[in-house]
Amino acid sequence: MVMDPRTGEILSMVGSKDFESEEIDGQYNVAVDGLRQPGSSIKPVTYLSLLQQGYTPSSILIDTPTVFTPNESADAYEPKNYDGKFHGPVSVRTSLASSLNVPAVKALATVGIDAFLQQAYDMGFVTLEPTQANKKRFGLAVTLGGAEVHLIDTVTAYSSFATGGKKVEPVGILKIEDQTGRTVFEHKQVEGQRLFSEAAAFLINHILSDNIARSLAFGTRSLLNVSPNVAVKTGTTNDQRDNWAIGWSQDVVVGAWVGNNDNSAMKVVASGVSGATPIWRRIMLLALDSGYGAPAWEVPEDIDQVLVDSVSGYPEHDGFPSRSDFAIKGTLPNLPDLVHTKLKLCRGENKLAPEARVAGGDYEEREAIVLQESDLVSLDGINRWQAGINEWIGGQEDSRYKIPTEYCGNQKEIFLNMSRPENEKKYDNEDIEIKIESDSGEGIEKLELIVNGSVRETINNRNYTGTIKLTKGRYEIWVKAYSRSGETKESGHVRIGTGGEDWKAPDPTPTPTPVPTPTPSLTPSPVPSLIPSPTP
């Protein structure tokens, strides 16, 4: 089926392979009347709802083995990806473009079945009306195609992406005249109904036309790659009954379904890529060659282009690799990044550094990826989503996923740091800022702030920030910590001057040493030599 998204006019439709064939029930119009499971081609509805709840294309979903069940006695649902692999943290962009199943189910659990059905029904999926019966009937598998829809409804629904969020009803007849030429009926074009924002439509369009984002599943040279301004989504059912490919530009929507008219399984194994996509591609290229364009997706005013962390989707930080993406204004999460971070470890140890040691600068940093999710399905308090994440992490060699839980040092050791005032500094005023941080596994009982050997303040807390008044002069300040187990520790001593006084006393002026007057030496009188008398 080919439709003009702005008018709803059906430009072309083939409802059967052979209208005259009785063997295949050829006069049954599958495009209009056939109820078929959509497979993954329904996923854009789920992700549209997710984006409208504040997620961005860069938000991560964690693709790991996951059991979806409220409790141990209920039936468990364990979806697998088409490639049989799990990919860990992946962005919303990659999850949708590469049609990953586990993230899609988590996305539906996030938005809720009710919101999904309402969104789908508003877009034109008449079989997904949010009745009480449907709300009870459909579970999380509906986002992977666990329902039945018409091809005409799918084309109509996705035309609202092409129009920037407006829906128009399909039009099959423009005018009817009788045998005399009198106009019996003539279609009147009406303004499309606004269903969702241009910004949300833009994000879906941009994701589904992103050849790099879909390369995880389809490679970079797949038949889906028609134009950077043509979005497309495929779908395949597990029983090989239905293959889908639905794609659109701003000017034209093309939907292709492949299967049997009698809804029997196809003998030749095919997928949305190998079955429906070649047909969709030929028709889309023909439409583009026939005057229907693929103009560039226009960026709405309420969309920001942002640089995000390549792992977490948070704003770029810490020099980690980043990439450009789009987000609805106000939806990008604020730092600090809770996923891609730097752990503060004790030097030479794979153990977390206590707070006081961090405050004192006695630590080293290591890049880490922290993966945590709440189980949105569980009703018995068991977090099965996190269990699947932990199982996946256990099989990874990347050390960034290995997060230590122990702190270094023994329980009784005290970590103590006084970062204010600064050592050996002259302060012009007399109000001096004091900042102390301490920690111990046994807990801190109290701190004593000591000034020139006397306790100035007793602090019944492990941390302290405040000011003390010191009159003009020179001071030596330190702090002593007491743990609850009786251990003590003193900080380094800080020397300061206040009120403009130098912290260091000037050296005393040296007293000159007198030079002694030399004493004249006496020249001794000559002693007469005794000459011996001659021997007789």
Cis peptide before 38 (omega within 30 of 0): no
Residue 63 in domain:
yes
b/e code 366-399 from CB counts within 10 Å (16+ = b): bebbebebebebbeeeeebbbebbeebbeeeeee
Tell me if residue 6 falls in helix, strand or coil. Answer: coil
Residue 224 in domain:
yes
Distance, in Å, from the CA atom of 203 to the CA atom of 47, rounded to the nearest integer, reads: 10
In the chain the first and final C-alpha atoms are separated, in Å, by: 164
Both 154 and 86 in a single domain?
Answer: yes
Share of the chain above pLDDT 90, in %: 74
User: Which residues, listed in sequence order, are joined to residue 425 by a DSSP beta bridge?
Assistant: 496
- Domain interval for residue 377: 339-401
Residue 488 in domain:
yes
Both 365 and 447 in a single domain?
Answer: no
Distance, in Å, from the CA atom of 243 to the CA atom of 38, rounded to the nearest integer, reads: 8
Distance, in Å, from the CA atom of 490 to the CA atom of 436, rounded to the nearest integer, reads: 12
Residue 225 in domain:
yes
In the chain, the amino acid numbered 214 is: R
pLDDT at 33 over 60: yes
Both 395 and 464 in a single domain?
Answer: no
Both 362 and 394 in a single domain?
Answer: yes
The closest alpha carbon to 309, from 21, 114, 60, 52, belongs to 60
Non-local (6+) Cβ contacts of 534 within 8 A are none
Both 114 and 263 in a single domain?
Answer: yes
Non-local (6+) Cβ contacts of 2 within 8 A are 10, 11, 12, 13, 252, 253, 254, 255, 283, 287
Both 443 and 396 in a single domain?
Answer: no
Both 471 and 375 in a single domain?
Answer: no
Residue 437 in domain:
yes
Question: Tell me, what CATH number does 57's domain have?
Answer: 3.40.710.10
Taking residues 212-241, report their average pLDDT. Answer: 93
Question: Tell me, what CATH number does 481's domain have?
Answer: 2.60.40.10
Query: What pLDDT, on a 0 to 100 scale, did the predictor assign at position 183?
Result: 92
Residue 310 in domain:
no
Both 482 and 345 in a single domain?
Answer: no
Tell which of 289, 321, 349 closes a domain: 289
Query: What pLDDT, on a 0 to 100 scale, did the predictor assign at position 214?
Result: 97
Both 167 and 82 in a single domain?
Answer: yes
Mean pLDDT, the chain, as a whole number? 90
Tell which of 349, 366, 401 closes a domain: 401
Both 133 and 228 in a single domain?
Answer: yes
Taking residues 336-344, report their average pLDDT. Answer: 96
Both 385 and 471 in a single domain?
Answer: no
Tell me if residue 74 falls in helix, strand or coil. Answer: coil
Residue 331 in domain:
no
91-145 pLDDT per residue, tens: 999 999 999 999 999 999 999 999 999 999 999 999 999 999 999 999 999 999 9
CB 56 within 8 A of CB 332: yes
pLDDT at 76 over 60: yes
Tell me if residue 429 falls in helix, strand or coil. Answer: coil
pTM, 2 dp: 0.81
Tell me if residue 380 falls in helix, strand or coil. Answer: coil
Strands ordered across the beta sheet of 231-236? 10-12, 2-3, 253-258, 243-248, 231-236
44-63 pLDDT per residue, tens: 999 999 999 999 999 999 99
Residue 319 in domain:
no
Tally of domains in the chain: 3
Both 30 and 104 in a single domain?
Answer: yes
Query: What pLDDT, on a 0 to 100 scale, did the predictor assign at position 533?
Result: 42
374-389 pLDDT per residue, tens: 999 999 999 999 999 9
97-109 pLDDT per residue, tens: 999 999 999 999 9
Angle between the N-to-C axes of helices 101-111 and 43-52, in degrees from 0 to 180, rounded to the nearest 10: 50
Tell which of 401, 423, 448 closes a domain: 401
Query: What pLDDT, on a 0 to 100 scale, did the predictor assign at position 503?
Result: 86
424-464 pLDDT per residue, tens: 999 999 999 999 998 887 789 999 999 999 999 999 998 99
Query: What pLDDT, on a 0 to 100 scale, did the predictor assign at position 293?
Result: 92
